[in-house]
Amino acid sequence: MIDATERQDAAHALLQAEQSRQPIAQVSRTWPAMEIADAYAVQQLWAQAKVKAGARIVGHKIGLTSRAMQMASGMNEPDYGVLLDHMVHADGARICASQFHRPRLEVELAFVLGKSLGGTRPGGRPVTVYDVLDATAYVTPALEIIDYRTEVPRSICDTIADNAAAAAMVTGGRIVRPMDIDLRWVAATLSKNGVIEESGVSAAVMGHPALGIVWLANKLAGHGIALEAGHILLAGSFTRPTAVTAGDTIHADFGPLGSIGVSFTE
């Protein structure tokens, strides 16, 4: 474990790396006693500093939803990060690539809550997939932009402290109520500059994308934190990350759920 001062120093270092757009050494190297609990505390301090500077928390992202990625990271569960208002972009956005260090795109579904979920529940009953579907106002196609503010290779503590690599997101396509379709079988292709780079199906996210939300709600409930109505929850990627640079044009086709287009500028 590291102490409160070291946690604050790590959060400050990550904030500076983001502002300067210059990656820093892995926080797990600078503070080698850092554990997963410390990493989440650093992430929270980072988010608090962003909110103090004027940002607003609009949701969370879930990462490491595939068993293969968990094993590669030495984890036995997913991880999570915070989504801030300035991270959210709409279909057709032109995004400046230079604001990131090494941006990559992932294909996901976003759950938007119609009512709160989790927190302190009567009798400590855990959140279930039915609770998630009941609390969700709608589901929409999404792309997550992930980025690193530290050098690589990264340990799981580096990733978590660095807001689980969350940098930005794009939503678009058709919104659907969660019970109107079988969310397990939403398929998508991701094209870069007219060439299909990735494809996948949402069942790759823990068997059902809502199960990632279940995990998140129960994880945060252990800290007395509820997911709020209106929050956007990125359920986890069902494609491998695709690198993007300035000049790239991206098109994600979700079939009956429509598509998302985004381009990257200097």
Cα–Cα dist 161/44, whole Å:
8
**Over pLDDT 90: what percentage of the chain?**
89
Range with top average pLDDT, 12-16, 21-25, 65-69, 223-227: 12-16
Is the confidence at residue 2, as pLDDT, over 90? yes
At 222 the pLDDT is 83
**Taking the model in full, what pTM does it have?**
0.94
Structure tokens at 156: 């799981």
* Average pLDDT, integer, range 179-193: 97
**Over pLDDT 70: what percentage of the chain?**
95
At 74 the pLDDT is 67
At 224 the pLDDT is 81
Name the pLDDT band for 116 (thresholds 50, 70, 90). very high
Instruction: Please provide the DSSP assignment of 108-176 as one string.
Output: EEEEEESS-EESS-GGGPPP-HHHHHHHEEEEEEEEEEE--SB-SS--HHHHHHTGGGEEEEEE-S--B
CATH 3.20.20.140 fits 56-262, yes or no: no
* Average pLDDT, integer, range 161-170: 97
User: For the chain, which residues make up each domain, given as ranges?
Assistant: 56-262
Cα–Cα dist 139/235, whole Å:
10
At 71 the pLDDT is 63
What would the pLDDT profile of 52-87 be if each residue is shown by its tens digit? 999 999 999 999 887 656 666 667 789 999 999 999
Is the confidence at residue 235, as pLDDT, over 60? yes
Cα–Cα dist 149/215, whole Å:
26
* Average pLDDT, integer, range 148-160: 94
Is the confidence at residue 123, as pLDDT, over 60? no
Cite the DSSP H helix spans in the chain.
4-20, 27-30, 36-52, 67-73, 129-135, 156-161, 209-221
153: cis peptide before it, omega within 30°? yes
Averaged confidence pLDDT in the chain: 94
* Average pLDDT, integer, range 101-114: 96
Q: Are 49 and 11 in contact (CB under 8 A)?
A: yes
Structure tokens at 191: 């094209």
At 23 the pLDDT is 94
* Average pLDDT, integer, range 158-162: 96
* Average pLDDT, integer, range 200-211: 95
At 68 the pLDDT is 56
Q: Are 107 and 243 in contact (CB under 8 A)?
A: no
